[in-house]
Amino acid sequence: MQGYRTKDFWAGAVYVALGLTAFLLGKGYSLGSAARMGPGYFPMVLSGLLVLIGLISIARGFLSGGEAVPRIHIRPAVLVIGATFFFAATIELLGAAIALPAALIMAAMASRLFRISPFAMLGAAAFTIFCLAVFVKGLGVPMPMFGALFGG
């Protein structure tokens, strides 16, 4: 049976998982009605659509026998997800000016083509400056530029 090995199956499984997670997180909010939507209306509708699309994709994976998923590489997934958790865990201590480029470099290490070079470091610095300008200065997102470790 090839269906569970297809890209359609796994994309559908991700949609179903996201939809069910959104449903569980939003079920405590009141729904209201279509005319007077409550805070839980949109999350419930969106989660239902995600689950429906996911189930259709899973069925398509079994019925059409689409393209098979190649071997799943764990290291890149761990690095990208780990970089996200690293940023969240260190933003208060290090600040965005340090945590962001560190997380960016950690996520970039997921690529087999990644090499530490002056050009890559310049790109990380430019991206960090851009994010700090847009989010911290421009939008006023309450994240420290420099964290508690640096007296921020």
Average of per-residue pLDDT across 29-47: 84
Question: 20 phi and psi, to 5 degrees?
Answer: -65, -35
**Could you report the per-residue pLDDT of 96-150, keeping only the tens digit for each?**
999 999 999 999 999 989 888 898 899 999 999 999 999 888 898 888 889 888 8
Q: What is the mean pLDDT of the chain?
A: 88
Q: Where are the domains of the chain?
A: 3-64, 74-150
130: exposed, middle or buried (C-beta count within 10 Å: 0-12, 13-18, 19+)? Answer: exposed
Task: Give the whole-angstrom CA distance, residue 125 versus residue 134.
Answer: 14
Provide the CA 97 distance to its chain's centre, in angstroms: 21
Stated pTM of the model: 0.61
